[in-house]
Amino acid sequence: MNKPDSPLGDRPKSFLLADVVYDSIRRAIANGDFSEDERLPGENALATQFDVSRPVIRSALKRLRDEGLVTSRQGSGSYVSGSGTARTLAFQPLETIADLQRCYEFRLTIEPAAAALAAKRRSAADLAEIEKLLQVMRDATERRSHREDADFGFHLAITTAANNQYFETSMRALKDHIAVGMKFHGLSLQTVRGGLDHVLQEHDAIYRAITRGEAETARAAMAAHVGGSRDRLFEGRLLDLSSK
């Protein structure tokens, strides 16, 4: 039998299991299942929970420690030391209009791709979370208001559904930056007749494409929404970023 071409093909099974355990614990921390400074279950309990050996658990915990998400206290165990975003990933504060435009530029690179992957990989729980946040936005729209928290949550839930931690971690690290754009965009929508309803329809189109498993439709819908949000906010007058 030929060996797989992927570099993962030669990795021992224990390493692959450690990846699964690492990702599961990391997601639990990011989702708030464990609060900062809370003690994680012991190695034996985690081994039982994931049906793996203790060396596998130790390997996963080491990776979490290396990324600054947990710390070990001798004789006490492992404790959560962060909110789920690796300490090595951080962005400079958003200070200028040019920074805001660059943030949208970056979002247009990662979010359409995440939406396409979400359409292929989403679970029932992922869809339920996206739908829940969409309903919050729908209720707000009926009251002629905009919920930035639900808006960001909707976009974050889609990157989570993509099942690729790099997308999700990037979104979490950009939360404060994205919130600025969403706040100003939401305010601008309330001054335009039908603006809130139109944006709700854009979100709904993304959700429906992901629900149907239509990756390219989801990609296009997300690109249209994020690009449209940027253009509405800047009123079509984008800055020349070549010298700023």
Domains and CATH numbers, the chain: 12-80 (1.10.10.10), 97-234 (1.20.120.530)
pLDDT at position 244, please? Answer: 59
How confident is the prediction for the chain on average, in pLDDT? 85
Q: What is the pLDDT of residues 50-94, one digit of tens each?
A: 888 999 999 889 888 888 888 888 788 899 985 544 444 566 677
Q: Are 217 and 209 in contact (CB under 8 A)?
A: yes
Taking 50 as the pLDDT cut, the residues of the chain under it are 1-13, 84-88
C-alpha separations of 48 from 56, 79, 137 in Å? 11, 19, 40
- Tokens found for residue 131: 């739908």
